[in-house]
Amino acid sequence: MEDHEDTNENPTEGENQQDNGSHHQYGSGDHDEAVDEADEQRVEQELLEVEAQSAAEDEAAPHEQHEHAEHEGEGHDHGEGHGGMHEGHEQMFRRRFFVSTFLSIPVLLYSETLQGWLGFTVPAFPGSEWINPVFAVIVFAYGGIPFLQMAVPELKDRSPGMMTLISMAITVAFVYSLATVIFPAQSAFFWELVTLIDIMLLGHWIEMRSVRRASSAIDELAKLMPDTAERITDDGETEEVPVSELSEGDLVLVRPGASVPADGIVEEGDSDVEEAMITGESKPVSKEPSDEVIGGTINGDGSLRVRVGATGEETTLAGIMRLVDEAQQSKSQTQVLADRAAGWLFYVALTAAVVTAIAWTVAVSFNATVIERVVTVLVIACPHALGLAIPLVVAINTSLAARNGMLVRDRIAMEDARNLDAIIFDKTGTLTEGEHGVVDMATVDSIDEDDAFALAAAVESDSEHMIARAIREAAEERDLTTPDATNFEAIKGRGVRANVDGSEMYVGGPNLLTQLDRDVPDHLQRFADEAGQNAQTVVYLVHEGELIAAFAMADVIREESFRVVDALHDLGIEVAMLTGDSEDVANAVADELGIDTVFAEVLPEDKDKKVQELQDQGKLVGMVGDGVNDAPALTRADVGIAIGSGTDVAVQSADVILVQNNPMDVVRLVKLSKASYRKMQENIVWAAGYNVFALPLAAGVLAPIGILLSPAVGALLMSLSTVIVAINAQLLRRVDLSLPNLSGSAPPTDADTV
């Protein structure tokens, strides 16, 4: 919220930045170029430092992660610190990959090993013998140093991972190869060095692109609050002031369609206020004097005068923002499979190197051959394939998910989805359409249903109330011709009246009948009682003082909801529903869908607690929602899933977004998660399995019988392992995400199949 206000209060900041940008654009001096280059280097250094901190955080204990998150939160804006940095990482590694690859070409061309393998030669010239060492040094300094910097936190935490393994391999290869320039040896590792760096930069670039996540939920929440408010002065006039200048006790005017600027109490006026984005209530809430209103909600057709009761950090919306921030910071982080494998390989490589050094020294005494064997072991310990094993699967997984209506924003959440024990669905807009519709009707014996619908639609023709829209839409679906209505009048809190074909007609609820002093016929009363038991709203059609029809209104359950509950049960996953609606409404929907657990009348902060409640039972919990009030629960859940048609903040708070707004994609998510994780495991086996074969040969286990793995052959095996991993990752595209026709479910529609 403060970030949002600061933006409004400093309009000149952007202008200053623009002026500075113009200065650099049109300035041609060396000073400007030096400043630009220095700025770029500074930004890259900051990105590397943050990446190193992230690596350390991944390895830290839970309490250490929380402390780091709090410290980090003090240093920079939440959204910019995470989403902006991930984007910066991606661009940095992309640039370093292309530059390093370009600089590696001369090294490959002048590599005697590759020339011998591929049968080509390049012209030699005075000084050409320095091409390999010079370009290799440049590639190491530009493309390799970042990995050394990111390995520092792993070493400090005594938890070596991928960065440590990469750093060990490229450093050993670099030092040994430079030594061969001064002390000629049988082989150098220049081409292996540069290709290893290039491959690792490529893997890191793919990884950053796949996991980039703009964590701007806080900003989206802040946008719900208006920038200005109309404050009523002592003389009754209005003045427009920034929301930040409002104080407790101020009286503000909230015009029709405007956002409520702060929490407060209605002093004058009547209106319906849309609170779904805050409270989850599926229909507008009627407000009159002495009722409370919440900042950020949307006023309806009436005008309200509100006495401010809370501003700034004390508002309900600010509380939700804090919950979102806390939930994001407390989200647990899982170690990546490749990091675990890299940690194991690091210790295996060191052990193998020590054993190799001792064994060869005993066998042939200490000489250059011993050093070459040890170096070969350490370099071969870092296969190219391990750097791509996970990122390739993640990239294909992300692409495949997008083609099937899922946008993956957090790869760890995608991995976790395969093990979900329970999935919580928000009711309104997720399991239901989020809009009221006519679900049933009854008429007196003398009236045809179509005639009753046509008359009701005529009376409601000039109303914008959601019940009026539902009746008109139902009449349109029946392809009915609506007669003309005149003398329309809205009766506040009761209904509407109009003249249709010369007859006075009313449409409204029980309060309307009380005003008209009319009794409900027994047939319609039984209908109303049954609708009430199903938590449905009943409105009546009155013709010349006589009740002739009753309509049952309810938030319509989506057709897909029946199938998704059955499908998840078939997968052994518990289904729960979370809503701010009453228990009657919630239980009616849950009974119809066969939902296991119901949380009704839940406030936003309690939604977050309900997710935590299931997690405390040892369950891995997924949350599916679409509203602002779902944001804390989405971020608290192990896997947050947002319906794509929902609010921006819900989307920004989620790990996975259902772009096509189809709840059945939750089932696809679980299937894809299982398939992707299986591919990751297979790729780890292929990548690390190379070491099981290559390390003993590189160490010289079979040297007594004349079999000794040379660095060149080891590099060839590295490449072969990389090719196998790449092909295996591509096979993920063949996974079948089509959904079976589960027993008890409706037949699959085109939208439910891939």
From the list 219, 225, 204, the residue with the least C-alpha distance to 80 is: 219
Residues in the chain: 754
Which residues pair with residue 498 across a beta bridge? 505
Give the burial class of 313: count Cβ atoms within 10 A of its Cβ; 0-12 exposed, 13-18 middle, 19 or more buried: exposed
Pairing of strands 238-242, 271-274: unpaired
Residue 38: CB atoms within 10 A of its CB come to: 10
CA dihedral 127, 130, 131, 134 (to 10 degrees): -130
- Nearest alpha carbon to residue 562 among 595, 584, 600, 588: 595
Cα 752-753-754 angle, rounded to 5 deg? 130
What is the C-alpha R_g of the chain? 33
Among all chains, which residue has been given the structure tokens 């060149």? Answer: 712
Cβ atoms < 10 Å from Cβ of 681: 13
Cβ(527)–Cβ(442) below 8 Å:
yes
> Contact, 628 vs 225, CB < 8 A?
no
- Contact between 516 and 542 under an 8 Å Cβ cutoff? The reply is yes
- Separation CA 161–CA 315 (nearest Å): 44
Distance CA 337, CA 332 (A): 16
The contacts of residue 552 (CB under 8 Å, 6+ apart) are: 438, 439, 440, 441, 527, 531, 534, 536, 537, 538
Task: Using alpha carbons, select from 492, 579, 569, 479 the residue that is nearest to residue 535.
Answer: 579
How many Å apart are CA 151 and CA 168, to the nearest integer?
9
Buried b (16+ CB within 10 A) or exposed e, 607-637: bbbbbbebbeeebbbbbbbbbbbbbbbbbbb
DSSP per-residue letters across 183-226: S--S---HHHHHHHHHHHHHHHHHHHHHH-----HHHHHHTTS-
Contact yes or no for 263/229 (Cβ under 8 A) = no
- DSSP 3-state percent helix, strand, coil across the chain (nearest 5): 60, 15, 25
CA distance 73 to 319: 17
426 is catalytic: yes
* Rounded alpha-carbon distances, angstroms, from residue 331 to 184, 274, 604, 628: 53, 31, 18, 19
List 426, 608, 630, 752, catalytic entry = 426
Tell me which amino acid residue 463 is. Answer: S
Alpha helices in 260-304 (DSSP H): 276-279
Which residues, in sequence order, are CB contacts of 480 under 8 Å at separation 6+?
A: 450, 453, 454, 457
* Dihedral sign of CA atoms 742, 746, 749, 752 in order: negative
With beta carbons less than 8 A apart as the criterion, state whether 405 and 668 touch. Answer: yes
CA distances, 490 to each of 14, 301, 460, 487, 499 (Å): 48, 12, 9, 10, 13
The continuous run of DSSP H or E covering 120 comes out as none
Report yes or no: 715 and 188 within 8 Å, Cβ to Cβ: no
Distance CA 212, CA 91 (A): 11
AA letter at 71? H
Dihedral of the CA atoms 155, 160, 163, 169 (nearest 10)?
100
Query: Mind telling me the catalytic residues?
Result: 426
